C-alpha cells in the first residue's frame, strides 16, 4: 500500500460518458521491455478524443504512423503556445514551459518527410509568416549597408522578433534575437528550430561559433540564461533567457554523430524525445489520407486562435497563463515511485540496466508532464473556440492522465532502448578505473563471421555484463550485421 503525501492528493474522476473508457492501457509489467514494431500503432486512447490539430492529423495517418505523428505535433505547437506556465511537483520554485525537443530516427527512405509536412502545416501560416516580412527588412538593411557610400546615413538596423531559426544559426545571433524579444516585447519568446536532416546540426557543431549543444541544453529549461561578453563592437554582448522547441529527422548514423557519449552521459540526449521508426521488412510505404476541407478549416482556426494567445491585436504580448496542474501530481508520484521500485529491485537482483533507467526516468517524466500541460491547454482552447463544452473538466483530466502515463513510459523506453547500453558501459568503465572511450569497439574485436557464443565469450573477457542479445539487436537495427543462420552472424561493415 502506497503512503499518501499531502503534495499528491488522491484525485477522484467522475463517471465518464460512453466511449471514454474505450482506450488502450499500458501494462505496468511491460513498461520497460524494448519496443516492437507493433507498439507504434497503439495510441493512449481513441483518436477522436484528441483536441483539434491532433485529432485531424492522427485520423489521417496510417496505423504505423499515428503515434509518431502525435509526437511530431508537440514541439511545433509548444513553440506557438509559448505563454503557458506550470509547476512540476518535484521543482520547488522553477516554472516550466512547453520546451520540447523531438528526434525521429529512421533508415534512409523510410518516409520521414511526413514530419516536414506537419511542420509546414503548423509553422508555415504562423511563425514563418510573421518572420518573412521581418527577414526581408533585415536583408534590405544589409544590402543598403553594403552599398552605401562613405558617410551615407541609412538609419538604424530594424529591431526584429524572428522566431524560426535554422541549425546553422550562430550563438551570437540566437542571443541577439532572444534579447530583442525582451527589449521590444517585454518578455522572452520561444524559438523554433527544425531540420529534415539531423546532420545539419552535426555539421554546424563543427564550427565553434555555431555549436549549439550548450545553447540547446540551456534552452530546455525556463529561466536558464545564456550570455557572452565581447570587447568588439562588431559582436553582440548580453545575457538572455534562451528558450527553444526543436524537431529533427535523421538516420541512425546522424543520431550517433550528434548524440555522442558526452551528450549521453551529460544529459543532452535525455532532453530529447527519441522516436525510432522501425518498419517491418518489406513494409509498404506509409500512406496518409488527404485532409477534408472541414479538417483544414479546423486546423487553421485553431492555429489562428493559438497565435492570439501569444499576441494581442496591437502585436504586443499577452500575459502568461498559469495552468493549475496539481490534479496530475498524484499520477506523477505513482509513476515515479513505480520506476524507482523497479530500479531498486533490478539493482538488488544484480540485473543490468538499472543505472540508465534511473538516469533517464527523470526527464522522461518532465517531458511527459510538459506535453500533457500543452494538451490540457489545447482541450480548453478547443472548448472556447467552438463555444461549447466538447469535453468536461473531468473528461479532460482523465484523458490527460492517460497521455502522461503513456508518454512517460514511451520516453523512458525509447531513451533506454537507444542509449541505455552506452550509458551503462561508460559508468562501468569509470567504476573500474579504465580509460573511458579508449577501448576498441566490441564489434571490431569480432571476426567477420561470428557466433553468439563467440560474442558472449568476448563480453566476458572484456568484463562487460551487458547481454549479447542487446548488442546483436542494436547492430542489426543499425545495419552493421545480418543473420546467416541460427546464432551465426556476418558483419556488413
**pLDDT tens digits for 336-350?**
999 999 999 998 988
Return the pLDDT at 458. 83
- Chain Cα centroid distance, residue 360: 13
Question: Does 447 share its domain with 420?
Answer: no
Q: Quick check: 440 pLDDT over 80? A: no
Establish if 434 belongs to a structural domain.
no
Give residue 318's pLDDT. 96
Who has greater pLDDT, 400 or 226? 400
For residue 204, what pLDDT is reported? 60
Category of 238 on φ-ψ map: left (φ > 0), alpha (ψ -120 to 50) or beta: left
Identify the pLDDT of residue 456: 85
pLDDT tens readout for residues 465-492: 677 888 888 888 888 888 888 888 888 8
Residue with cell 503525501: 5
| Residue 335 CB partners (closer than 8 Å, separation 6+) | 365, 404, 405, 408
pLDDT at 19 (0 to 100):
45
CA angle 192, 277, 411 (to 5 degrees): 65
pLDDT at position 468 is 85
pLDDT of 461 reads: 74
320 and 462 share one domain: no
Domain boundary at 372, 404, 427, which? Answer: 427
What does the buried/exposed string (b/e) look like for 150-188 if buried means 16 or more CB atoms within 10 Å of the residue's CB?
eeeeeeeeeebbbbbbebebbbbebbbbbbbbeeeeeeb
Does one domain contain both 466 and 322?
no
What are the φ and ψ backbone dihedral angles of 273, each rounded to 5 degrees? -90, 115
Q: Which residues contact 205 (CB under 8 A, 6 or more apart)?
A: 211, 212, 213, 258
* Confidence at residue 465, expressed as pLDDT on a 0 to 100 scale: 67
Kindly state whether residues 374 and 231 are assigned to the same domain.
yes
In this prediction, residues 198-206 reach a mean pLDDT of: 72
Residue 13 lies in a domain: no
Looking at the structure, tell me whether residues 367 and 322 fall in a common domain.
yes
Query: pLDDT over 90 for what percent of the chain?
Result: 53
**β-bridge pairing 95-96 and 84-87:** antiparallel
Confidence grade of residue 104 (pLDDT, cut at 50, 70, 90): very high
Let me know whether 411 and 445 are in one domain. Answer: no
**Are residues 383 and 470 both part of a single domain?**
no
pLDDT score recorded for residue 284: 76
Strand pairing report for 84-87 and 481-485: unpaired
Under the banding of pLDDT at 50, 70 and 90, the label for residue 85 is very high
Kindly indicate the confidence band of residue 62, based on its pLDDT and cuts at 50, 70 and 90. very high
Q: Kindly state whether residue 3 falls inside one of the protein's structural domains.
A: no
Least reliable range by pLDDT among 8-22, 59-73, 83-97: 8-22
The answer to whether residues 114 and 209 belong to one domain is yes
Rounded-to-integer distance, Cα 173 and Cα 179, Å: 10
pLDDT 10s digits, 398-427: 999 999 999 999 999 999 999 999 999 888
Report the C-alpha gap between 56 and 37 in whole angstroms: 23
pLDDT of residue 37: 43
Residues 452, 423, single domain; the answer is no
| Residue 101: Cβ within 10 Å count | 23
**So what's the pLDDT on residue 493?**
62
Tell me whether residue 406 is in a domain.
Answer: yes
Domain tally for the chain? Answer: 2
Instruction: Give the structural domain span for 475.
Output: 441-491
- Domain closes at, from 387, 402, 427: 427
Residues paired with 140 in a beta bridge: none
Domain boundary residue among 376, 399, 427? 427
Mean pLDDT of the chain: 85
Q: What mean pLDDT is predicted for residues 71-83?
A: 97
In a domain? residue 30: no
CA 366 to CA 349: how far, in whole Å?
Answer: 28
Among the residue ranges 127-131, 275-279, 436-440, the one predicted with the least confidence is: 436-440
Question: Higher-confidence residue: 151 or 444?
Answer: 444
Give pLDDT, residue 17.
41
Within a domain: residue 33?
A: no
- Residue 109: Cβ-neighbour burial (10 angstroms; 0-12, 13-18, 19+): exposed
Same domain, residue pair 376 and 478? no
Per-residue pLDDT at 74: 98
Placement of cell 478524443 in the chain: 49
Kindly state whether residues 165 and 292 are assigned to the same domain.
yes
CB 370 within 8 A of CB 101: no
**What pLDDT does 432 receive?**
63
Residue 185 contacts by C-beta under 8 Å, 6 or more apart in sequence? 161, 316, 317
CATH number at residue 114: 3.40.50
Closest CA to 235 of 207, 209, 215: 209
Residue 273 scores a pLDDT above 50: yes
* Residue 163: inside a domain: yes
Tell whether 94 is covered by a domain. Answer: yes
Pair (472, 342) in one structural domain: no
Amino acid at each position: 500500500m502506497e503512503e499518501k503525501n499531502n503534495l499528491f492528493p488522491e484525485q477522484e474522476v467522475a463517471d465518464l460518458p460512453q466511449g471514454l473508457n474505450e482506450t488502450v492501457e499500458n501494462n505496468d509489467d511491460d513498461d520497460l521491455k524494448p519496443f516492437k514494431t507493433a507498439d507504434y500503432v497503439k495510441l493512449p486512447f481513441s483518436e477522436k478524443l484528441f483536441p483539434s490539430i491532433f485529432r485531424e492529423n492522427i485520423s489521417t495517418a496510417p496505423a504505423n504512423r499515428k503515434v509518431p505523428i502525435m509526437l511530431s505535433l508537440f514541439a511545433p505547437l509548444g513553440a506557438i503556445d509559448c505563454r503557458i506556465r506550470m509547476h512540476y511537483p518535484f521543482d520547488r520554485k522553477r516554472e516550466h514551459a512547453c520546451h520540447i525537443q523531438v528526434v525521429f530516427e529512421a533508415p534512409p527512405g523510410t518516409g520521414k518527410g511526413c514530419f516536414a509536412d506537419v511542420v509546414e502545416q503548423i509553422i508555415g501560416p504562423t511563425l514563418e509568416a510573421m518572420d518573412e516580412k521581418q527577414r526581408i527588412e533585415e536583408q534590405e538593411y544589409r544590402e543598403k549597408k553594403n552599398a552605401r557610400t562613405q558617410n551615407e546615413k541609412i538609419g538604424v538596423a530594424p529591431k526584429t522578433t524572428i522566431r524560426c531559426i535554422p541549425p546553422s544559426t550562430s550563438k551570437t545571433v540566437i542571443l541577439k534575437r532572444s534579447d530583442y524579444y525582451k527589449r521590444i516585447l517585454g518578455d522572452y519568446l520561444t524559438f523554433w528550430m527544425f531540420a529534415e536532416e539531423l546532420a545539419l546540426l552535426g555539421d554546424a557543431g563543427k564550427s565553434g561559433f555555431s555549436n549549439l549543444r550548450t545553447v540547446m541544453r540551456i534552452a530546455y529549461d525556463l529561466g536558464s540564461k545564456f550570455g557572452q561578453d565581447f570587447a568588439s563592437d562588431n559582436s553582440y554582448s548580453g545575457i538572455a533567457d534562451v528558450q527553444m522547441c526543436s524537431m529533427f529527422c535523421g538516420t541512425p548514423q546522424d543520431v550517433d554523430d550528434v548524440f555522442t557519449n558526452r551528450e549521453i552521459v551529460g544529459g543532452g540526449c535525455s532532453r530529447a524525445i527519441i522516436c525510432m521508426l522501425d518498419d517491418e521488412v518489406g513494409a509498404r510505404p506509409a500512406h496518409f489520407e488527404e485532409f477534408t476541407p472541414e479538417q483544414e478549416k479546423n486546423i487553421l482556426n485553431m492555429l489562428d486562435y493559438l497565435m492570439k494567445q501569444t499576441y494581442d491585436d496591437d502585436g504586443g504580448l499577452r500575459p502568461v497563463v498559469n495552468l493549475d496542474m496539481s490534479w496530475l501530481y498524484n499520477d506523477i508520484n505513482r509513476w515515479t515511485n513505480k520506476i524507482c521500485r523497479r530500479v531498486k529491485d533490478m539493482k538488488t537482483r544484480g540485473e543490468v540496466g538499472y543505472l540508465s533507467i534511473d538516469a533517464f526516468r527523470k526527464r522522461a517524466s518532465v517531458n511527459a508532464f510538459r506535453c500533457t500541460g500543452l494538451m490540457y491547454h489545447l482541450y480548453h482552447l478547443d472548448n472556447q473556440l467552438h463555444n461549447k463544452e466538447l469535453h468536461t473538466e473531468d473528461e479532460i483530466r482523465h484523458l490527460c492522465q492517460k497521455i502522461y502515463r503513456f508518454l512517460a513510459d514511451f520516453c523512458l523506453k525509447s531513451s533506454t532502448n537507444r542509449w541505455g547500453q552506452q550509458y551503462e558501459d561508460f559508468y562501468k568503465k569509470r567504476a573500474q578505473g579504465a580509460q573511458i572511450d579508449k577501448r576498441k569497439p566490441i564489434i571490431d574485436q569480432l571476426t567477420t563471421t561470428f557466433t553468439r557464443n563467440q560474442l558472449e565469450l568476448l563480453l566476458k573477457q572484456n568484463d562487460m555484463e551487458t547481454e549479447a542479445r542487446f548488442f546483436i539487436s542494436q547492430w542489426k537495427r543499425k545495419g552493421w550485421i545480418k543473420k546467416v543462420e541460427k546464432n551465426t552472424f556476418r558483419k556488413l561493415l
